[in-house]
């Protein structure tokens, strides 16, 4: 069966925000300590204690934003513990993740320093679960106010004269769970309350993100949307007092008690994982439908600020540190999600994969013994897709898509999305078939397109992954499987592969 992808190159749609390629760094396991932060006395090359090769690798991705300090950790975090001289900061217990004690060496100034090194926008997750309105309001003032206010003066006393630009602010995290076990009506009122005091300071404009649903909690979305005043009354009026809802969803092949193995899985489990990853399309569609009832002008954004695979931890590692390997399967889970974000660019304004270093579906793994840095297969999908950042989405109509049955669902085995900018276009294609190659005809209409380069990400085995001893087991390679076709281009996708093709338009 040959799949046809009809792409109208002259009909650009909603812009794919670069922020859907965002990342998440929680005080969890070795994400911060041993990942980003090595300290100023470390032997590994660093900049003011921040690991240099990690920064360089993420800059190569053009990382647009970074969410911090949590996650569940964020709703036990009190920002004043992490400012001022490091040797005077109090020690705290990370009760959520490993029940370990940390010394707050990495706090507000270190995070904002990291964001400046990365060229990334900060996304701060504020503490609603155990904090206060005043605490959150003062943190915003500390970060973003430029005059001689009390919090600005405190920031200067800690060594930072100019305020930072902090565009994104989370009003709590998972308040339906670890962030407070709240009912939707209770949190909806708190979100309005807290958001009112997360104020714009000077020329810093804050985009406030309230806690939205997990998975299929459509009733939570309904309650949050009812908490707004009439969003349909004035199309020009912004959403107030918050501007977006979050959505969380994790992919696993088992249950929360036994999530499945990262590298030791069968072909059936390959398909189960990809079938469950494909549910993101369903969640985006159905939550957007609920939001559309109250917000027909789509003023309220959807921020998928936790997503990715969650497997059982690697044998011999701390179960509270959530360290897992990352295979070709994880890469195609990522491409499946990113395609869904592209298709919903009119509502999905940001997303954050969990997490950036050494935790869950990480971009990077740092080896604690050798000190080596490993780029994961998921990293390569993000790098291959960088051309979609802030490009206009193109509608892709698929015909004759092969499918399989997995986990009680019909799983399409081919996915295609595309975007355009100026006189170029980028087409991304996923073949989820574990064993068979697939042909896709790109039926290109409206403009003349010439292929200028293509790359493929695949490997000999579904379970292939990168290690310090074999860092390129799964890595992009030039791809010669794109050739001219009477209707445009023919792409011959290898089994279990991800391909990106660049086009020049005229």
* Three-class DSSP category at 355: coil
56 is catalytic: no
Q: Which one is catalytic: 102, 174, 269, 383?
A: 174
Whether 426 and 501 have beta carbons less than 8 Å apart is answered as yes
Sign for the CA dihedral angle at 145, 146, 151, 154 comes to positive
Annotate 136-203 with DSSP letters as a single string. Answer: HHHHHHHHH--SS-HHHHHHHHTT--SPPP--EEEE-S-TTTTTT---HHHHHHHHHHHHHHS--BTT
Q: Which residues pair with 268 in a beta bridge?
A: none
* 180: its two tokens: 């407070």
CA nearest neighbour of 14 among 287, 336, 420: 420
Q: Give the C-alpha distances (Å, rounded to integers) separating 87 from 31, 50, 79, 82.
A: 22, 17, 16, 11
Query: Would you state the structure tokens that stand for residue 121, as one six-digit string?
Result: 């926008």
Q: Which residue has the tokens 């990342």?
A: 23
At residue 416, the 3 state secondary structure works out as strand
User: Is 281 a residue of the active site?
Assistant: no
Alpha-carbon distances, residue 149 vs 133, 145, 159, 230 (angstroms): 18, 7, 15, 35
Start-to-end Cα distance in the chain = 31
Query: How many residues are present in the chain?
Result: 506
The DSSP element (H or E) to which 115 belongs, if any, is: helix 108-118
**Is 363 within 8 Å of 377 (Cβ atoms)?**
no
**Catalytic choice (102, 141, 281, 306):** 306
Residues assigned a catalytic role = 174, 306
């Amino acid at each position: 069966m040959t799949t046809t992808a009809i792409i109208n190159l002259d009909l650009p749609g909603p812009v794919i925000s670069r922020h859907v390629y965002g990342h998440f760094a929680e005080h969890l396991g070795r994400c911060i300590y041993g990942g980003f932060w090595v300290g100023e006395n470390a032997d590994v090359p660093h900049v003011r204690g921040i690991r240099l090769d990690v920064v360089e690798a993420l800059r190569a991705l053009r990382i647009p934003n970074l969410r911090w300090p949590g996650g569940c950790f964020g709703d036990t975090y009190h920002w004043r513990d992490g400012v001022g001289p490091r040797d005077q900061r109090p020690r705290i217990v990370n009760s959520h993740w490993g029940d370990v004690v940390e010394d707050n060496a990495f706090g507000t100034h270190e995070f904002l320093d990291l964001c400046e090194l990365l060229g990334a926008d900060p996304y701060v997750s504020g503490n609603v679960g155990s904090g206060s309105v005043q605490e959150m309001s003062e943190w915003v003032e500390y970060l973003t106010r430029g005059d001689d206010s009390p919090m600005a003066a405190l920031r200067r006393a800690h060594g930072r004269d100019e305020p930072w630009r902090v565009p994104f602010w989370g009003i709590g995290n998972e308040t339906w769970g670890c962030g407070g076990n709240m009912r939707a009506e209770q949190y909806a009122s708190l979100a309005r309350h807290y958001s009112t005091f997360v104020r714009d300071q000077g020329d810093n404009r804050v985009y406030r993100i309230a806690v939205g649903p997990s998975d299929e909690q459509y009733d939570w979305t309904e309650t949050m949307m009812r908490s707004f005043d009439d969003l349909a009354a004035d199309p020009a009026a912004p959403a107030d007092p918050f501007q977006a809802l979050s959505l969380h969803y994790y992919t696993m092949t088992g249950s929360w008690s036994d999530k499945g193995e990262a590298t030791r899985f069968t072909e059936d489990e390959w398909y189960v994982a990809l079938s469950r990853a494909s549910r993101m399309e369903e969640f985006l569609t159905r939550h957007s439908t609920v939001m559309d009832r109250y917000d027909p002008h789509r003023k309220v954004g959807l921020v998928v600020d936790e997503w990715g695979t969650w497997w059982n931890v690697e044998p011999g590692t701390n179960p509270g540190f959530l360290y897992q390997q990352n295979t070709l399967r994880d890469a195609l889970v990522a491409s499946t999600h990113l395609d869904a974000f592209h298709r919903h660019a009119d509502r999905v304004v940001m997303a954050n994969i969990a997490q950036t270093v050494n935790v869950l579906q990480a971009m990077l793994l740092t080896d604690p013994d050798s000190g080596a840095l490993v780029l994961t297969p998921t990293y390569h999908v993000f790098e291959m897709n960088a051309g979609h950042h802030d490009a206009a989405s193109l509608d892709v109509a698929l015909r004759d898509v092969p499918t399989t049955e997995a986990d009680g669902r019909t799983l399409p085995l081919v996915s295609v999305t595309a975007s355009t900018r100026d006189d170029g276009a980028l087409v991304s294609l996923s073949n989820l078939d574990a064993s068979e190659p697939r042909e896709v005809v790109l039926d290109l209409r409206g403009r003349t397109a010439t292929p200028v380069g293509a790359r493929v990400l695949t490997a000999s085995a579904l379970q292939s992954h990168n290690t310090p001893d074999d860092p390129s087991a799964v890595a992009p390679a030039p791809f010669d499987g794109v050739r001219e076709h009477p209707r445009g281009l023919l792409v011959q996708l290898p089994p279990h592969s991800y391909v990106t093709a660049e086009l020049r338009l005229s």
